[in-house]
C-alpha cells in the first residue's frame, strides 16, 4: 500500500470511512479483508461499518461544474417574489376602477375639488343667473348658447399654450395631472422591478405574465367605459340641441313649457360636459395603464434575454459534468444552506463590471471567461461541501437545531419530486438523500405540520419509500413492473 494513497478518518463510534483517491481500489479491498480476518479474534472489529468514498481530486472540476450548474439553476428558479399581482395593482391605485386613486388623482383640481363638482357649481350658477335676468322666451335660446360657449371655454385647452397651464381650462389641468401621475406610477413600477432583481428569472417571468394580463384587463375596462361615455355624450348633445333650439313645432311662449324646456336643456348641457369629463378621465387612465403595460413588457423582454443567457451558462456547466456526482442530493442541500447565491452573483457582477441584466450582451469569449471565474470561486466551496457530506456519513446522529425539529409549511405545484425533497430538507433542516432513480412531479400543500407528517405527505404524493439512518432520511421510489 503506497503511503498517502489511502486516508483513514475516524468519526462516529463503530464507523470508519475509507477515502481513496479513486486509483487504489486494491488498497481499500485489502483493508476490508484485514479487518474481516481480524474480526474473528476481535469481535469489535467485525462490528465496524466500512464506507468507501473516493476523494474527488480528479473529479473536482466536474463536481464544481455540477454545483455551478445548480447555482445558476437557483438564479433561474428561486421563487422570491412575495408580492401578489393584486398587491401591486392595489399599490399603484388600480384596484377600484371607478373610484381608485388613479381616477381621483386625474380628477383633482387646484382647489382641492374634482372637475365634476366644479361642473355642478357652474351649472347652478347658470340657473341662478337666468332666474335673476328673467329673460324672455325669445332671448332664452341665444343666452343659453352663450352659457354653453363659456362652459366650452372652461373645458377646453387655453388658446395661448405658452401660458401657465394651470390658468387654462379643464383639459389643461387634466394634462398636468396626467403627466404627474404617469411619472409617479412608472417610478413605483420601476421600484418593484428593482426590488425583484434577485428573484428567480423563470418564476418572475410567469409572475410578469400575470401582471401583464391584469393590467391589460384594466386598460380594456377603462376603454370600454370610455366608449360608453362617448355614446352617452353624443346622446346628450342631441338632446341639448333639440331642447335649446326652438322649431316650428315648439312653443316657448307658454310659461310652464318654457320652464320645462329650459330645465331640460340645462340638464342636457350638464350631462354633455359630465360625460366629456369622464371620457377624458378614462382616456388618460387607459393611456397611463398602457404605458405601465409597455414598461412591464420591456422588462419582460429584458428578463427573457437574461434567462436565456442563464440557460446558456447552465448548459456550459452541465456539458462538463454530464452525470450527477457522488452525494449529489446532500451537496445540493448543503449548498442551499451554506451559499449566499445573491452575494456570489453580486461578486460576479462586480468582477465582470456588468450587471446580470446585461449578461445577454456578452459574446462567447466573455461568457467563457465568466464561467471559468465562477468555477474558481466555487471550487473551495465544493471541497468544503464534500467534506460535510463525508462528515454526515461518519456522524449521522449530529444534532440538528431545535428549529429543524419544528413544524413545516411547504407548497409545490407540478414540481420535480427531487426538487421538492430538497426544498423540504432546506426548510426543515433535516438531512434527506434522494435516490437518483426518483422521477416524476408532485403537487401538494403542507401547512404547519410536524416534519414526520410533512415527509409522509410528500412520500404519499410521490409514491416514495424511506429508510432512516440516524437523522438522515434516504428516499427511494419502487420500480413499476409491467
Q: What pLDDT does residue 147 have?
A: 84
Query: What cell numbers appear for 154 in the block?
Result: 372652461
Residues 279 and 187 in one domain: yes
Residue 417 domain-assigned (yes or no):
yes
At a CB cut-off of 8 Å and minimum separation 6, what does 239 contact?
Answer: 264, 268, 271
Q: What pLDDT does residue 379 have?
A: 84
Q: Are 77 and 200 in contact (CB under 8 A)?
A: yes
Q: What pLDDT does residue 108 have?
A: 81
Residue 439 domain-assigned (yes or no):
yes
Q: What pLDDT does residue 262 have?
A: 75
Residues 49 and 126 in one domain: no
Query: What cell numbers appear for 54 in the block?
Result: 473516493
- DSSP 3-state of 473: strand
Per-residue pLDDT of the chain (482 residues; tens, 9 = 90+): 333 333 334 444 445 555 554 445 566 677 777 777 777 777 766 666 665 555 556 677 888 898 899 889 888 887 666 678 888 888 877 877 666 678 888 888 777 778 888 888 888 888 888 777 776 666 777 788 888 888 888 888 665 444 444 445 788 888 988 999 999 999 999 988 888 888 888 889 999 999 999 999 999 999 999 999 999 999 988 888 887 765 544 444 444 444 547 788 888 888 988 899 899 999 999 999 999 999 999 999 999 999 999 999 999 999 988 777 766 666 676 676 677 788 888 899 999 999 998 999 999 999 999 999 999 988 888 777 776 666 665 554 443 444 445 677 777 778 888 888 888 887 777 878 887 778 888 888 887 788 888 888 888 888 888 877 656 788 888 765 54
Q: How many domains does the chain have?
A: 3
Residues 39 and 70 in one domain: no
Q: What pLDDT does residue 216 have?
A: 95
Residues 210 and 281 in one domain: yes
Edge to edge, the sheet with strand 15-20 lists: 6-10, 15-20, 49-54
Q: Are 381 and 68 in contact (CB under 8 A)?
A: no
Q: What pLDDT does residue 13 have?
A: 42
Query: What cell numbers appear for 170 in the block?
Result: 379643464
Residues 20 and 117 in one domain: no
Residues 286 and 309 in one domain: yes
> Whole-model pTM?
0.65
Residues 408 and 377 in one domain: no
Output the domain CATH number for residue 466: 3.55.50.30
Residues 113 and 261 in one domain: yes
Residues 214 and 88 in one domain: yes
Question: Grid coordinates 471559468 are at which residue?
Answer: 372
Total Cβ atoms within 10 A of residue 20: 18
Phi, psi dihedral angles at 248 (to 5 degrees): -65, -25
Residues 137 and 202 in one domain: yes
Residues 257 and 210 in one domain: yes
Query: What cell numbers appear for 235 in the block?
Result: 346622446
Q: Which domain holds residue 441?
A: 402-476
Alpha helices by DSSP H, 320-416: 328-338, 341-352, 364-394
Residues 111 and 69 in one domain: yes
Q: What pLDDT does residue 49 have?
A: 62
Residue 1 domain-assigned (yes or no):
no
- Determine how β-strand 6-10 pairs with β-strand 15-20: antiparallel
Of the three residues 355, 374, 394, the one that is the final residue of a domain is 394
Q: What pLDDT does residue 130 have?
A: 76
Amino acid at each position: 500500500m503506497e503511503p498517502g494513497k489511502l486516508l483513514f478518518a475516524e468519526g462516529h463510534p463503530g464507523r470508519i470511512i475509507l477515502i481513496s483517491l479513486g486509483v487504489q481500489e486494491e488498497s481499500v479491498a485489502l483493508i476490508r479483508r484485514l479487518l474481516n480476518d481480524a474480526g474473528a479474534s476481535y469481535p469489535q472489529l467485525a462490528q465496524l461499518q466500512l464506507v468507501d468514498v473516493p476523494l474527488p481530486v480528479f473529479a473536482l472540476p466536474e463536481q464544481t461544474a455540477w454545483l455551478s450548474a445548480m447555482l445558476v439553476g437557483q438564479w433561474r428558479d428561486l421563487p422570491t417574489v412575495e408580492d401578489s399581482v393584486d398587491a401591486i395593482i392595489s399599490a399603484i391605485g388600480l384596484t377600484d376602477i371607478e373610484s381608485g386613486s388613479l381616477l381621483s388623482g386625474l380628477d383633482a383640481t387646484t382647489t382641492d375639488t374634482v372637475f365634476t363638482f366644479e361642473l355642478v357649481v357652474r351649472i347652478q350658477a347658470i340657473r341662478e343667473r337666468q332666474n335673476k335676468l328673467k329673460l324672455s322666451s325669445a332671448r332664452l335660446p341665444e343666452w343659453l348658447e352663450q352659457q354653453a360657449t363659456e362652459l366650452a371655454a372652461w373645458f377646453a385647452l387655453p388658446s395661448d399654450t405658452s401660458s401657465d397651464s394651470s390658468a387654462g381650462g379643464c383639459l389643461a389641468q387634466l394634462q398636468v395631472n396626467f403627466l404627474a401621475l404617469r411619472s409617479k406610477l412608472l417610478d413605483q413600477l420601476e421600484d418593484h422591478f428593482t426590488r425583484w432583481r434577485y428573484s428567480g428569472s423563470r418564476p418572475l417571468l410567469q409572475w410578469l405574465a400575470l401582471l401583464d394580463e391584469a393590467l391589460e384587463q384594466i386598460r380594456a375596462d377603462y376603454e370600454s367605459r370610455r366608449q360608453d361615455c362617448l355614446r352617452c355624450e353624443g346622446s346628450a348633445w342631441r338632446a341639448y340641441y333639440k331642447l335649446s333650439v326652438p322649431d316650428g313645432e315648439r312653443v316657448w311662449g307658454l310659461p310652464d313649457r318654457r320652464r320645462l324646456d329650459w330645465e331640460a336643456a340645462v340638464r342636457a348641457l350638464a350631462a354633455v360636459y359630465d360625460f366629456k369629463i369622464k371620457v377624458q378621465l378614462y382616456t388618460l387612465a387607459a393611456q397611463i395603464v398602457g404605458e405601465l403595460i409597455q414598461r412591464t413588457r420591456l422588462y419582460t423582454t429584458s428578463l427573457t434575454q437574461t434567462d436565456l443567457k442563464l440557460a446558456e451558462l447552465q448548459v456550459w456547466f452541465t456539458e462538463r459534468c454530464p452525470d450527477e456526482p457522488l452525494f449529489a442530493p446532500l451537496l445540493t442541500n448543503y449548498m442551499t444552506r451554506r451559499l449566499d447565491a445573491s452575494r456570489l452573483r453580486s461578486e460576479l457582477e462586480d468582477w465582470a463590471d456588468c450587471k446580470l441584466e446585461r449578461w445577454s450582451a456578452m459574446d462567447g469569449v466573455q461568457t467563457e471567461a465568466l464561467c471559468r471565474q465562477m468555477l474558481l470561486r466555487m471550487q473551495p466551496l465544493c471541497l468544503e461541501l464534500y467534506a460535510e457530506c463525508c462528515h454526515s456519513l461518519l456522524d449521522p446522529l449530529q444534532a440538528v437545531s431545535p428549529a429543524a425539529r419544528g413544524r413545516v409549511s411547504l407548497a409545490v405545484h407540478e414540481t420535480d419530486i427531487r426538487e421538492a425533497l430538497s426544498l423540504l430538507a432546506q426548510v426543515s433542516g433535516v438531512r434527506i438523500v434522494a435516490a437518483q432513480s426518483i422521477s416524476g412531479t408532485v403537487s401538494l400543500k403542507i401547512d404547519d405540520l410536524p416534519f414526520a407528517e410533512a415527509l409522509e405527505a410528500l412520500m404519499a404524493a410521490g409514491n416514495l419509500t424511506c429508510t432512516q439512518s440516524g437523522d438522515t432520511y434516504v428516499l427511494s421510489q419502487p420500480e413499476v413492473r409491467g
